[in-house]
Structures are given as structure tokens and as C-alpha cells.
Amino acid sequence: MFRVEEAHGVGALAADGTAGRRKRVRRPFTAEARAVLERALRIAGGRGERSLGDEHLLLALTAGPGPAGAVLADHGVTHDAVVRLLDETRGRRAS
């Protein structure tokens, strides 16, 4: 939690959703967010999947540097672990 607040400000994870609330304004993606989305698209294509899902975003977050990947790694969510779980799940569906 502290890494998220360091990067995005105190209260960034407020449960009531009021932290940092302002008028709804579309903001352009940050360079990091754009990189994660591009990585997710490449991962989905590399796995032979035609749509982008949450699993591809998770793989992208764990595959590259960044605060989200660091927080996930602190909780044992690594790229290899996610790949292994997805491959196991995919194998069960095919059976």
C-alpha cells in the first residue's frame, strides 16, 4: 500500500472512492500505462489469443518494471507464476 501512496499520493486507495475526486476529465495514458497496454497486446497475440483480457494485463504488469509489478511481486505474484496458472487453467478447459 505504501508504494502506491508514494507514487499516487496519500489516500489513493481510499475505499470510499473520494480520494482525488474531481470533475471527470479524460486524461491521456501515461507512458507507463501505454507500455503496459502494448505489452498486454503483444502477450495476447503471442499466446494465440484474439482478445485482450485481464489475464494479459496481469501478465504485462508482472513482465515489466513499475510500481504495480513491484507490489504484485511483494505478494508472490510473479510473471512465471501467472503464466503457470494460466497454462494450467487453459489445459483444464481443453480437457
Segment 70-94, tens digit of pLDDT: 999 999 999 999 999 988 887 776 5
pLDDT, tens digit, for every residue of 16-49? 555 555 555 667 888 888 999 999 999 999 988 8
Higher pLDDT, 63 or 20: 63
Please tell me what DSSP assigns to residue 51. S
Band of pLDDT at residue 1, cut at 50, 70 and 90: very low
89 Cβ contact list (under 8 Å, min separation 6): none
Separation of alpha carbons 58 and 43, rounded Å = 10
Residue type, 46: G
Between 2 and 93, the higher pLDDT residue: 93
